[in-house]
Amino acid sequence: MIELETGSARAAIDSERGFACARFSVADWPVLGGGMHVEFPWVGARPARSARLRTGSVQFEVGGGPADTLAAHGWILEPRADVPRARLRTDPATSAYPFELELLAEWRLDAESLRLELELVNRSKRHAPFGIGVRADLAPLGGRVQVLAPAEQYAVVGGKEIDLRRPMPVEQHIHVSLTRRHFANLQTQLAVLGQNSNREVWLNTSADFREAELSIGPDGSGTLASATCIPDAFARHADGVTTGLRVLAPGEAWRGHALLVAGVHCEPDRHERE
């Protein structure tokens, strides 16, 4: 376990279990309940189904894989005193994902936020489709909470439109999936805000993260997630669904980041007055 500390913020990176952040706290507030981790080369909480795909004139099969994705194991730590950094390389001989891609991840901690930098390079000799996701499992915030997704459009939950452009109280567990077109700045942003406290948690991601998921209970516990594609993207792409799968040419690189911000300085009613 790699321990980080900046001011009152502390984080622990588990170098043996998916290079995930196992703990993140600010002062006496434990922000994470189940950690924060990377999903790659598919995303979502369910196993990937097998599929036959085509890139250009080449057809190939993706054999499906576990719900915790290939990013749950196999990271090689790069020793650096101040910044935890590790690499993951996929094996082109496996049926689950027959490509050789190298993913570099780097964690950075400051006084109120945890930043994950990602870089992906295609080491294969053919074009390779992929997806990357980041999932943060939050601890209870303390008291009742509101959720917020600064978007231009209404979200639809259970056939009903709900407005997440302003803070919405969570009376019962809420699960919402959004896509980048919902957001005013075309970047996914999700937040959980304490109604009677000065605590708030935000997940902000770079522009290529086009899908967002918010699954939060009345106490603020639950999941904030963002990804470059939808869950089960390989199989759904084969079915003709627009999924957001990215494709890297041989030698091409992709870069992105995710930022989890835990603020304890805002007035509880700030958003209501704006």
Distance CA 43, CA 230 (A): 7
Give the pLDDT of residue 272: 40
Specify whether the CB–CB gap between 141 and 201 falls below 8 A: yes
Give the pLDDT of residue 181: 60
| Per-residue CA distances from 227 to 4, 177, 178 (Å) | 26, 11, 11
- Stated as kind and residue range, the H or E segment containing 273 is helix 270-273
Q: Is the peptide bond before 41 cis (omega within 30 degrees of 0)?
A: yes
Distance CA 170, CA 191 (A): 12
Q: Which two tokens stand for residue 58?
A: 């080449």
Distance CA 58, CA 127 (A): 9
pLDDT tens digits, the chain, 274 residues: what are they?
Answer: 899 989 899 999 998 889 999 999 998 899 999 999 999 999 988 888 888 887 767 778 887 788 888 888 889 998 765 789 999 999 998 888 889 999 999 999 998 899 999 999 999 888 999 999 999 999 999 889 999 887 666 666 667 777 888 888 998 898 988 876 655 556 778 999 998 888 999 999 998 898 889 999 999 999 999 999 988 888 888 888 888 888 899 999 999 999 999 987 544 444 443 4
Distance CA 64, CA 68 (A): 12
Domain ranges of the chain: 2-273
Residue with tokens 């890139």: 55
Distance CA 177, CA 214 (A): 6
Give the pLDDT of residue 152: 61
Give the pLDDT of residue 108: 94
Give the pLDDT of residue 274: 40
DSSP 47: P
Alpha helix positions (H), 163-269: 233-238
Give the pLDDT of residue 87: 94
Give the pLDDT of residue 183: 59
Give the pLDDT of residue 202: 94
pTM of the model: 0.87
What is the SS3 assignment for 87?
strand
Give the sign of the dihedral formed by CA 164, CA 167, CA 173, CA 179. positive
Q: Which two tokens stand for residue 87?
A: 């690499």
DSSP 151: B
Distance CA 257, CA 255 (A): 7
Give the pLDDT of residue 143: 85
| Per-residue CA distances from 121 to 101, 134, 160, 202 (Å) | 6, 18, 41, 28
Distance CA 147, CA 174 (A): 9
- Stated as kind and residue range, the H or E segment containing 227 is strand 222-227
**What residues have CB less than 8 Å from 270, skipping those under 6 apart?**
none
| Per-residue CA distances from 258 to 180, 216, 232 (Å) | 15, 19, 21
| End-to-end CA separation in angstroms for the chain | 42
Give the CATH number of domain 2-273; options: 2.30.29.30, 3.40.980.10, 2.70.98.10, 3.90.226.10: 2.70.98.10
Distance CA 256, CA 118 (A): 5
